[in-house]
Homo-oligomer: A and B are copies of this chain.
């Protein structure tokens, strides 16, 4: 429904009707719209963003950023995630729910960890690295509705790595 008619049309009443289910039954399973979105989003997000670690950590990062871009701009689960992230900005409860799920974080951590194992990152502050890796991309997508080209993603990955590499002469 979110995809077809937008967030505003995604009412509890509508959800129940579409599911041919009583309204009460919906409330029995999820007490807020946010929980529905999260459940609808989380599993798919994990799948779409899981990048199998290869030998080439550089390429993994590019691929990951590409996956994130696709997730946020074209995937249904990504749309749900953005709706949630949006809701989180004006509803503390949703913010905490979302923080607890850590949708993006989990997959990003995997990529970062793999890169660190290859020694191509210069710090142990994983949260900072995650933010540096995906922050610029997420920021542009959220605030400009950016649809990056593959080239743009590659450049973005390259610049992230350039910055975050340990000094060469070691």
Q: Which residues of A contact B (CB under 8 A)?
A: 2, 6-8, 82-83, 85-92, 95, 98-99, 104, 123, 127-128, 131-132, 134-140, 142-145, 155-156, 159-160, 162-164
Contact assessment for B134 and A139 in the assembled complex, using a CB-CB cutoff below 8 Å: yes
Neighbouring B residues of A89 by C-beta, 8 Å: 82-83, 85-87, 142
Number of copies: 4
- Majority SS of interface residues in chain A? helix
Q: How far is the CA of A160 from the CA of B91 in the complex (A)?
A: 31
Q: Which of B7, B156, B163 contacts A164 (CB 8 A)?
A: B163
Contact assessment for B131 and A139 in the assembled complex, using a CB-CB cutoff below 8 Å: yes
Among A85, A98, A135, which residue has the most Cβ atoms of chain B within 10 A?
A135
